[in-house]
Amino acid sequence: MELQKTIDQAIDILRRWERGDNHFTLTTSGSTGEPSVIEHSRKALEWSAESTRNTWFNNTNQPGEKKTLAPIQLCILPLNKAGGFMQLIRSAVWKSPLWIGPTSANPFNDVQFSQRHSGQTLSNENQFIDTQISNSPNSEQLHQKEEFNQQNHNQSYQTLNHQELALILNGESIPYSPELWNQYKPTVLSITPMQLQLAMKEEYGRKMLNEMQTILIGGQAMDLQLEKQILDNFPNTRWIHTFGSTETASHFAGRILNHNTPEYTLTAGSSLTTNESGEIEISNPATNGRRITLHDKIQQTSDTTFIWLERTNLLINSGGLKIPIESLEKEISALLNWPLLSFYIVGQPHPILGEELTLFTTHSIADITGIRNTLAQLPKLHQPKKIHFISEIKISENGKIIRKH
């Protein structure tokens, strides 16, 4: 059973932590090359966990006031990657229980929830918008905003499949029960953009998203379409788009989407500069004070804030012009009204240009004329020279497109 494997893995990591192990390894996503193994010290991981809490989950405002209780998390991310692994470490450092669920691309299709009220199961199908992407120019007019009154917001959603959730408490796993869920109700969820997109299409997923007070989104860039959907439908949830890497023991900055700003703010204890290429250089206790250069070009707006611009190791050199892939993909996403995970751009060898822009998509070949006409709005050198229609796009464990062709 997959859940039991995840639970066993979680218990093993926590036992190593409790016995005082000083070194832990993580594997990078491999989205831009072969996965690599990164080792972190116990001290670095402790700092990362405390920095997250002090930045986003410490409501203490007055000197001498006691810290609030640490939040309870729900983990649906792979534990061998930074996102899921650090949820475990936060649980250990914060001395807080942790719920473990399926770590699949669509976890809320595996864990099904229904509303329980006065012993009855209620149907709420009409309360939620259809979040499937529509190419109709008037699609927004056809969608109604989701409305929850305070009574609905306070009601809890209970699992129908008890085998798909477990609580990690004091180093042991406890199977789900309604009483346990209500006693240790999670308020914080970490999720990838791909998981979020799929959750938005599931009634159970939308209900669970509504249950959370804070949702951390990480692992990949977000398209504006998805950002607008979640803010429109879940305005009472705090949405934080995190920024980090395996090398820095998970995130070191975050952008609160509710604040409607492109700026990321550093977590407590981090400092940043940029090199001559405009790439971010980060230093904090997780890097042992060393400056780590990431392949991310930024615009630094203050000592503690920056705007992300593009990945510098995702460039296509076509005819001597260096084209940033992710920036181009965002343009195409906006033009075609496509989710970012439904297509990708690569550079394929060309005898004259060196590399030529090639687009791979899971959309229908029947739309080829409209696609080409729309892409013609791009600058000529930014227009894909070839379009390949494929049945699926391979995604890494932590939700990043694997750009192989």
Same domain for 253 and 223: yes
Looking at the structure, do residues 78 and 224 belong to the same domain, yes or no? yes
Count of structural domains within the chain: 2
Tokens of 171: 């180093």
**Shared domain check, 257 and 361:** no
Query: Over 60: is that where the pLDDT of 39 sits?
Result: yes
Shared domain for 163 and 196, answered yes or no, is: yes
Average pLDDT over residues 260-285: 94
Q: Do 261 and 334 belong together in one domain? A: no
Per-residue pLDDT band for 229 (boundaries 50, 70, 90) equals very high
Determine, yes or no, domain membership for 178. Answer: yes
The pLDDT of 207-222, averaged and rounded, is: 91
401: in domain = no
pLDDT for res 137: 33
pLDDT beyond 50 at 58: yes
DSSP 8-class letter at 195: H
- Mean pLDDT across the chain, nearest whole number? 82
Q: What band does 79 get if pLDDT is binned at 50, 70 and 90?
A: very high
Residue 123: which pLDDT band, with cuts at 50, 70 and 90? very low
**Could you give the CA distance from residue 55 to residue 389 in angstroms, rounded to a whole number?**
44
pLDDT at site 405: 60
Expressed as residue numbers, the domain containing 287 is: 2-58+68-309
Confidence (pLDDT) at 220: 80
> Which CATH number goes with the domain that contains 380?
3.30.300.30
Cα–Cα distance measured from residue 399 to residue 29, given in angstroms and rounded to the nearest whole number: 9
Q: Over 70: is that where the pLDDT of 132 sits?
A: no
Q: Which residue has the higher pLDDT, 140 or 40?
A: 40
Stretch 379-395: mean pLDDT: 91
123-142 burial, b at 16+ Cβ within 10 Å, e below that, comes to ebeebbeebeeeeeeeeeee
- Residues 340 and 355 grouped into a single domain: yes
321 and 305 in a common domain: no
CA torsion angle 205 209 215 216 (round to 10) = 10
Q: Is residue 195 part of a domain?
A: yes
Contact 84, 177 (CB under 8 A): no
Residue 179 lies in a domain: yes
Share above pLDDT 70 across residues of the chain, in percent, rounded to a whole number: 81
- Residue 380 inside a domain? The answer is yes
pLDDT tens, 331-346? 999 999 998 889 999 9
Q: Is residue 310 over pLDDT 90? A: no
> Do 258 and 238 meet the contact criterion of CB atoms below 8 Å apart?
yes
Q: Is residue 129 pLDDT above 80, yes or no?
A: no
pLDDT band at 14 (very low <50, low <70, confident <90, very high): very high
Average pLDDT over residues 357-378: 93
Which of 289, 309, 329 corresponds to the end of one domain?
309
State residue 34's pLDDT score: 61
Percent of the chain with pLDDT over 90: 52
Angle between helices 224-233 and 193-200 (to 10 degrees): 50
